[in-house]
Amino acid sequence: MKLGVLVSDYKICVETIDRMKSDNLGLVLVQNGVYHAVLKEGGKESSLLGKTPRLYVLSEDLQSRGLSAEQVDKRVKVIDYSGLVDVIFNDFDKVAWL
């Protein structure tokens, strides 16, 4: 199953994602989920970045929080709302929102 998960929180989503079974997982970091793409808590990057190579972050939610695309981990693709629509319709069978 191609599963797209929109991650909208910083702390509480990681365990749930660990439990999800998908052979083709994609993570879209939105709202407060964008901190996963930027922060290095205690010097360590978010463990979500190692879950899948298909990582996206929403530029509008970076902008709202005073974050820039330059701060985003290189593995994460920065997309806008238009790009988000493309990803949802073209890349996944199902989409979940956490």
Residues at the contact surface with other proteins, assessed by CB under 8 A: 8-11, 31-32, 35, 39-43, 60-61, 63-68
Question: Contact at 8 Å (CB) between 12 and 5?
Answer: no
Cβ nearer to other proteins, comparing 22 with 56: 56
Least separation in angstroms between residue 67's CB and other proteins is 7
Q: Which is nearer to other proteins, 32 or 52 (CB)?
A: 32
Q: Quote the least distance from Cβ 31 to other proteins, whole Å.
A: 5
CB 84 within 8 A of CB 56: yes
**CB-nearer residue toward other proteins: 19 or 40:** 40
Dihedral sign computed on CA atoms, order 85, 15, 38, 61: positive
- Please say whether the beta carbons of 62 and 31 come within 8 A: no
